[in-house]
Structure formats: structure tokens, C-alpha cells
């Protein structure tokens, strides 16, 4: 099948490595191919540019490393297509990625943007990596199809609309919630966004404990809380749906009563009850994990998931404190 000239695929990368090589190999094999592939180097790693050029891709080098949002915007500014396809450099797209991207737009009438999800067979081994990637898949797979946000790891957007709303917010320099913020801008402008979970990519990242702490608190929960407060909204979708909010509250309550039980031992039953309630609320997810790795894997993932909710609560409280402090200083 010939290329789809109306599509421009944009990949950003900060450094060269095996994950980028696998991503670019898969992009080179796409059928149909995009009209153009633009690789934006967020920094001065010449190996990234050489790897892209060896496959015939256009490259943009930003030696001052302005960050992921600015890099994506630079790629979008150069793009000639009427549709912008964004792809992270640590994922592997399926062969029909471009065709699935265009068809994803049609799953919601009038949608100007769409995104997919990670597949349910993550590449990286280990409980932490498998849990984290399967959580992402499960969350997107069960989210509202008429989405409120956007996801740039595997997303498509009308180029004209993207430019009208100002693209990605370049104050987000590291991968964070820049794509969620873009989704909010699109929705605020009256546009619709489709989530098509059948449009999937394979995530290659190897997660470790430190990544969970830094990502879930500093790069997700705190900035997302700040964004929600500035927007004056609280969506019942994705990671902030009602089940997730109740789960975070139950985990926080369990820790609070565990602390109090040092002084009043009879309160020790409360933490167990709260954690049991949180586990019960997420029973469908744990069955999903068991189906993809057995119950021993699912049981080992439960503490990780409870920590995930603890991190969300820390981020929520911290975000509110930062928001209040900024208001007092007049910077909000």
C-alpha cells in the first residue's frame, strides 16, 4: 500500500539507544507509510540524527534541549501533513499504525484528535514493569471513548486545530502531563477527542521503583492536580475516575489509622479494613493481572498498586498546597 501523504509522523528523542532503534525500525516498516517522518532531537545527541537519517527520515536537532513539548511543537511546525501523528521513541508501533491512527479519528463523530493505548504484552520483564504497563493498558481500555484528554505516545491530531490551540505547553520540559494539558485545550475550544483502545503500541521501557515515585508524584499527580485546579474541573475518567479517587482515600485512611494505632492498638483493625476495601474496589484490575501473569504475579503487584494510590494522594495534597501558596504570592 502506498504512503498516506496527508499524515506526518513526529518522534522526539533525547538520546540514542536500543529502544529508539527498535522504534525507528518499526516506523520504517509501516504499511501504509506516513507521508513523512520527522525525528526531533531534543538535545545534541548526533547518534539520534544519524540513526533517523540512515532510514531516510527528516531530522530536526534542537541542541539547547528545550524539552519534550518544544520538540514536538518544532516537529509540528515543520510538518506538511493535515494530520499530525505523535509517537514516543520508547514504543514500537504495529505495521498498520498509520491506518489505525486515521481510522481512530472516525470512532467519535467530529473528533479532531485521537489516541490509543499500550498493548497487553509489555516487552520489559519484572513485576514493576509488567504491572505499570498493564495498568496503563487497563486504564485506557476501560476509559471513556469520548475522551477529555490526549496521549502523545500514540496520538493523532488535526494539524490546523493543533496550531490554533497553540500546541503543547512548553513549560512542560520533561515528559509529564503536557499531552493531558493539550487535550484540555482542545476540549475547551469545543473539539472532541476519541480514545480507540484497538490502536495499540508496545512499550519498551524498563520500570524501576524510583520511576514509580518520581513519575507518579512529581511528574503526574502534582502537575495534574495543579492543572485541574487551574481549569476548575474534575473528570470522572482515566486515572482520576471515581474508583481511583475512593481507592486513594482508602489507602490514605489506612495509613492514618495505622499511625493512630501506635497509641490506640484497638484501632489496628481499621487499616486492614480500609485496605481490604481498596483491594475489593480494584478486583477487576487484579483479575486482569492474573489473566496476564497468574495470581502470584497479581498478588505481588497489589502492594505496587496500593503505593500508586498513596503517591496519588501525596500528589493531590502537595498540588493543593502549591496552588494555595501560588495564590497567596499572586503567581496563580
pLDDT at 262 > cutoff 80? no
Question: Does one domain contain both 195 and 275?
Answer: no
Distances (CA, A) of 213 to 209, 310, 315: 7, 10, 10
Residues 193 and 257 in one domain: no
Note whether residue 136 is domain-resident.
Answer: yes
What confidence category does residue 142 fall into, taking pLDDT thresholds of 50, 70 and 90?
very high
Is residue 225 situated within a structural domain?
no
The pLDDT of residue 269: 82
Q: Are residues 33 and 150 in the same domain?
A: yes
Tell me the mean pLDDT in the region 49-61.
Answer: 96
Q: Does residue 133 share a domain with residue 280? A: no
Q: What is the mean pLDDT of residues 282-294?
A: 97
186 and 323 in a common domain: no
DSSP 55: T
Give the predicted TM-score (pTM) of the model.
0.93
Residue 239: pLDDT over 90: no
pLDDT above 90 covers a percentage of the chain that reads 83
The cell numbers describing 207, all together, are 520500570
pLDDT, tens digit, for every residue of 295-323? 999 999 999 999 999 999 999 999 999 99
DSSP annotation of 267 reads G
Residue 106 is predicted with a pLDDT of 93
Q: Are residues 296 and 189 in the same domain?
A: no
Residues 202 and 247 in one domain: no
- Judged against a pLDDT cut of 80, whether residue 192 lies above it is answered with yes
Report if residue 129 sits inside a domain.
Answer: yes
Contact 188, 169 (CB under 8 A): no
Rounded Cα distance, 257 and 267, in Å? 7
Please give the pLDDT value at position 208: 86
**CATH number for the domain including 42?**
3.90.550.10
Residue 267: pLDDT band (50, 70, 90) is low
Region of 78 (left: φ > 0; alpha: ψ -120 to 50; beta: rest) is alpha
Let me know whether 178 and 76 are in one domain.
Answer: yes
Residues in a beta bridge with 118:
201
User: 309: domain range?
Assistant: 238-329
Specify whether the CB–CB gap between 179 and 73 falls below 8 A: no
Average of pLDDT values for 187-214? 93
What's the total number of domains in the chain?
Answer: 2
Nearest to 8, CA basis, from 215, 155, 209: 155
pLDDT at 237: 85
Q: What is the pLDDT of residue 171?
A: 95
Question: Mean pLDDT, to the nearest integer, of 267-273?
Answer: 84
What digits encode the pLDDT tens for the residues 68-106?
Answer: 999 999 999 999 999 999 999 999 999 999 999 999 999
pLDDT of residue 1: 60
Using the predicted structure, report yes or no on whether residue 46 has a pLDDT greater than 90: yes
In 3D space, the residue among 58, 103, 52, 49 whose CA is nearest the CA of residue 79 turns out to be: 58
Q: Are 247 and 309 in contact (CB under 8 A)?
A: yes
- Confidence class for position 264, pLDDT limits 50, 70, 90: confident
97 and 163 share one domain? yes
Q: What is the mean pLDDT of residues 155-167?
A: 97
Confidence of residue 215 (pLDDT cuts 50, 70, 90): confident
Query: 148 in a domain, yes or no?
Result: yes
Residues 32 and 178 in one domain: yes
∠ Cα 39 40 46 (to 5°):
90
The terminus-to-terminus CA distance of the chain in angstroms comes to: 51
Q: With contact defined as beta carbons under 8 Å apart, do 39 and 11 qualify?
A: yes
Q: What does the alpha-carbon distance between residue 65 and residue 80 come to, in Å, rounded to a whole number? A: 23
Question: Which of helix, strand or coil describes residue 29?
Answer: coil
Indicate if 255 and 193 belong to the same structural domain. Answer: no
Asked if residue 318 belongs to a domain, the reply is yes
pLDDT at residue 57 in the model: 97
Which pLDDT score is estimated for 214?
A: 84
Residue 236 has pLDDT above 70, yes or no: yes
Q: Is there a domain that residue 218 lies in?
A: no
pLDDT of 241 higher than 80: yes
> Taking all residues of the chain, what is their mean pLDDT, rounded to a whole number?
93
Q: What is the pLDDT of residue 2?
A: 64
pLDDT at 58 over 70: yes
Q: How confident is the model at residue 266 (pLDDT cuts 50, 70, 90)?
A: low
Q: State the pLDDT at residue 310.
A: 93
Q: Are residues 84 and 145 in the same domain?
A: yes
Amino acid at each position: 500500500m502506498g504512503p498516506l501523504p496527508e499524515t506526518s509522523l513526529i518522534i522526539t528523542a533525547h538520546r540514542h539507544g536500543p529502544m529508539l532503534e527498535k522504534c525507528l525500525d518499526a516506523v520504517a516498516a509501516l504499511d501504509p507509510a506516513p507521508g513523512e517522518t520527522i525525528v526531533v532531537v531534543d538535545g545534541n545527541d548526533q547518534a539520534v540524527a544519524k540513526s533517523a537519517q540512515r532510514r531516510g527520515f527528516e531530522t530536526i536537532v534542537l541542541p539547547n534541549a528545550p524539552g519534550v513539548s518544544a520538540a514536538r511543537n518544532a516537529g509540528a511546525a515543520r510538518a506538511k501533513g493535515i494530520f499530525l501523528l505523535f509517537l514516543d521513541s520508547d514504543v514500537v508501533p504495529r505495521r498498520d499504525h498509520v491506518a489505525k491512527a486515521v481510522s481512530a479519528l472516525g470512532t467519535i463523530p467530529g473528533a479532531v484528535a485521537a489516541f490509543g493505548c499500550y498493548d497487553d504484552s509489555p516487552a520489559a520483564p519484572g513485576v514493576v514493569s509488567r504491572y505499570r504497563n498493564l495498568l496503563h493498558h487497563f486504564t485506557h481500555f476501560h476509559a471513556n471513548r469520548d475522551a477529555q484528554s490526549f496521549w502523545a505516545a500514540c496520538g493523532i491530531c488535526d494539524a490546523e486545530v493543533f496550531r490554533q490551540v497553540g500546541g503543547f505547553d512548553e513549560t512542560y520540559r520533561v515528559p509529564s502531563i503536557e499531552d493531558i494539558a493539550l487535550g484540555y485545550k482542545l476540549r475547551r475550544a469545543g473539539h472532541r477527542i476519541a480514545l480507540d483502545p484497538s490502536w495499540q503500541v508496545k512499550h519498551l521501557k524498563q520500570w524501576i521503583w524510583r520511576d514509580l515515585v518520581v513519575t507518579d508524584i512529581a511528574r503526574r499527580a502534582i502537575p495534574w492536580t495543579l492543572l485541574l485546579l487551574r481549569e476548575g474541573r474534575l473528570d470522572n475518567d482515566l486515572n482520576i475516575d471515581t474508583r481511583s479517587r475512593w481507592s486513594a482515600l482508602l489507602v490514605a485512611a489506612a495509613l492514618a489509622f495505622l499511625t493512630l494505632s501506635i497509641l490506640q492498638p484497638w484501632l489496628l483493625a481499621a487499616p486492614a479494613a480500609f485496605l481490604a476495601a481498596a483491594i475489593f474496589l480494584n478486583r477487576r484490575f487484579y483479575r486482569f493481572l492474573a489473566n496476564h501473569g497468574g495470581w502470584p504475579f497479581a498478588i505481588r503487584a497489589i502492594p505496587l498498586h496500593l503505593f500508586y494510590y498513596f503517591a496519588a494522594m501525596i500528589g493531590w495534597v502537595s498540588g493543593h498546597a502549591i496552588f494555595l501558596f501560588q495564590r497567596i504570592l499572586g503567581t496563580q
